[in-house]
Amino acid sequence: MDFIFEIMVSMFNPLTLILILFGVCVGIFVGAMPGLNGPIGVALLLPLTYGLSPENGLLMLGGIYMGTGFGGSVSAILLNCPGAGVAACTALEGYPLALKGRGKEALYYSVLSSSIGGLVGLLAMIFFTPLLVEVALKFGSAEMFLVAVAGLAVVGSILGKSPSRGFFAVALGLLISMVGIDSMAVGKYRLTFGFDSLVPGIPLIPASVGFFAITEMLTLSRNQSQNIVDVPFQEFTVFQALKNIFRKWFVLAKSCLIGTIVGILPGTGGAIASFVSYGEAKRSAKDHKSFGNGNIEGIIAPESSNNAAIGGSFVPMLALGIPGSATSAIMFGALMIHGLQPGPKLFVENAHMAYTFMLGMLLTVICMAIAGILGIPLFSKILKIKTTYIVPTVLVFAMIGAYSARNNVFDVLLAIIFGFVGVFFKKARIPIAPIILGIILGKITEENFRRCLVAAAAEGVNVVNYIFLRPLSIILTVFVAVIIFTNFKSLVFAKKMTKNDAD
């Protein structure tokens, strides 16, 4: 206990706190910029940590990671430009709120649920790592395939008004995810049409920059009005927001749980967590219809979930020595560069470091909450800027974002193409979010299914038996079935309603 106390004292020194706050602010900025995301932010500041002590360096990077979890929602809510997939669901609910003059309110929900989610994820990591890692190891290819299918089933919740257009969008996303070198075989190319540039595949970032940011800016530039929001802004306090969030405690708790579990699973991340918990929030809500028009549950769920995934993604890193997400992979690298081997041994050989990291991450959440709450009045002023300034600025940052993921000019071209395609889709009323969902989940679904095929053949059983006849699979299958059933029901219901209206 003395040991913990000593760490607490050493953590509360001005330099550490300033570095964490700096990291969090960079994280919020990076998260808010279309195309930039956690891995890029952490990689950018990685060289800065060489001159710091490992504790300070790592906590600064942790601050960036935590900050990006919230930052994405700023541009998602205010400009309908979610940085990457993480804030796609937040945009669905947050932007309609912003258009009603309630942007500030939406941002408060976002920062508060992000902070609560972040805390839950970290506390789960601190207290339950040994247990959680046992759960994670139970997830083989069959279970991962079902998790991916659960994610895809969520598409029913983000279809928009027309199911056929929504299904077209998700199918397009899946198709885009298939382009390029077949990751499960050597030297097999798919859908490249002879273009060398397509061989490495189409990554998520240029696609999301194009479909979200560029499309939105092009649409905005055709807007007659000088401003994004024409209605008067409504004032809102952080305490009112807190009260409203705690009224939705059940959604919050569920989303934190989903976020933590998804975060632990290898190869997943905040984006999948936020999609699944958004889908679950919509499924369990009494009034499905208010989703898509600014339902606050639709902000609380994805935002708490994606920050809860951060704590989750550290679990395999600390317990097994393998990173759980793209961002934690770079932090893993940072530890190695400082001569520390992440994994169970860290607690024996560098216990001080390990516990400082765990407790310090809690500080990053507190710093994020403070920076976010103080920053929101400032962020929400973005809506007062004339669109003639916003459009070019966001477009420039979008190009930088598209380029920086792979430092590749081709990605900028891809983003521009997707941007124009997106404008056309908007005219045709094809929803964008399902495309991104398809791109995120396509590879995970396919690869795990193909792993199941090989494993089932090796064990001499039918692949259907292999996937479904497992204890965890049964739970997941029920979950998937319930999501699909509810979506189907609400679709039929919606159809009937429109029919009645027409009559």
Partner 1 sequence: MFSKKMHLVIWGCLIVLSLMLAACNGGAAEYPDKTIKFFVGANAGGGTDILARLLTAEMEKELGESCVVVNKPGAAGQISNLELANSKKDGYTLGFLTDFNTLVAMNTDEDLGYKLDDLEYICSINRSTNAIIIRKDFPGGETFEDFVKYARENPGKVKIGHSAVGQALLINSLEEKAGIKLSPIMYNGGGNNYNALLGGHIDVAIIGTKFSAQAAEKGCTTLAVTSDKRIDILPEIPALQEFGYDVVNNEITRIIVAPKGTPQEAIDKIRDTVKKVTATDAFQKKLSEINEVYEFRSGESLMEIFNKKNDAIKAIVESNPELFKTSN
CB of residue 130 to partner 1, shortest distance in Å: 13
Q: Minimum CB separation from partner 1 for residue 307, in Å?
A: 21
- Which CB, 11 or 40, lies closer to partner 1? 40
Given a contact cutoff of 8 angstroms between Cβ atoms, the answer to whether 41 and 60 are in contact is: no
Closest to partner 1 by CB, 235 or 349: 349
Residue 445 near residue 152, CB atoms below 8 Å: yes
Tell me the CA distances in angstroms from 82 to 57, 77, 230, 382, 433, one per residue in order: 28, 8, 21, 15, 10
- CA distance readout (Å), 297 to 31, 65, 67: 21, 24, 21
Closer of 4 and 199 to partner 1 (Cβ): 199
Shorter beta-carbon distance to partner 1: residue 55 or 446 = 446
Nearer to partner 1, 105 or 446 (CB): 446
Q: 128 or 189, CB closer to partner 1?
A: 189
At its nearest, how many Å lie between partner 1 and the CB of residue 286? Answer: 39
CB of 260 to partner 1, least distance (A): 17
Report the nearest approach of partner 1 to the CB of residue 142 (Å): 9
The minimum distance between CB 395 and partner 1, in angstroms, equals: 13
DSSP designation for 234: P
> What is the CA angle 255-256-257, rounded to 5?
90
381, 104 in Cβ contact below 8 A?
Answer: no
The tokens describing 80, both together, are: 């309908």
* Residue 374: half-sphere exposure toward Cβ, Cα within 13 Å: 9
Backbone phi, then psi, for 350, in 5-degree steps? -135, 55
Q: Least separation, in Å, of the C-beta of 225 and partner 1?
A: 17
CB of 239 to partner 1, least distance (A): 29
Closest to partner 1 by CB, 374 or 409: 409
Nearer to partner 1, 14 or 194 (CB): 194
Retrieve residue 346's tokens. Answer: 């860290």
The minimum distance between CB 431 and partner 1, in angstroms, equals 29
Taking CA 341 as the corner, what is the angle to CA 339 and CA 344, rounded to the nearest 5 degrees? Answer: 150
Determine the Cα–Cα distance for residues 318 and 86; give it in Å rounded to an integer. 24
Q: Of 339 and 471, which CB lies nearer to partner 1 in the complex structure?
A: 339
Identify which of residues 457 and 497 has a Cβ nearer to partner 1 in the complex. 457
With contact defined as beta carbons under 8 Å apart, do 308 and 256 qualify?
A: yes
Is 352 or 406 the residue whose CB approaches partner 1 more closely?
406
Pairwise CA distance, residues 194 & 202, whole Å: 15
For the beta carbon of residue 191, count every other beta carbon within 10 angstroms.
13
- Distance separating alpha carbons of residues 497 and 502, to the nearest angstrom: 9
Q: Which is nearer to partner 1, 281 or 354 (CB)?
A: 354
Minimum gap (Å) between residue 266 Cβ and partner 1: 5
Rounded to 5°, the CA angle 349-337-46 comes to 125
Q: How far is the CB of 327 from partner 1 (least distance, A)?
A: 9
Give SS3 for 140. Answer: coil
State the minimum distance, in angstroms, from the CB of residue 406 to partner 1.
Answer: 6
Q: Are 286 and 306 in contact (CB under 8 A)?
A: no
Q: What residues does 180 pair with on adjacent strands?
A: 190
Written as one string, the DSSP assignment of 486-501 is HHHHHHHHHHHHHHHH
Among 73, 33, 107, 102, smallest CA distance to 404 is for 33
Q: Write out the residues near partner 1 by the rule CB under 8 A.
A: 39, 42-43, 46-47, 50, 136-141, 181, 183-190, 192, 194, 196, 199-201, 266-267, 316, 320-323, 326, 329-334, 336-337, 339, 341, 343-345, 384-386, 389, 393, 396, 406-408, 447, 451, 454-455, 457-460
The Cα 379–Cα 387 span in angstroms is 15
Residue type, 23: G
* Beta carbon of residue 460, minimum distance to partner 1 (angstroms, whole number): 8
Cα 110–chain centre separation:
13
- The residue (of 56 and 304) whose beta carbon lies closer to partner 1 is 56
Q: Computed over its alpha carbons, how large is the radius of gyration of the chain?
A: 22
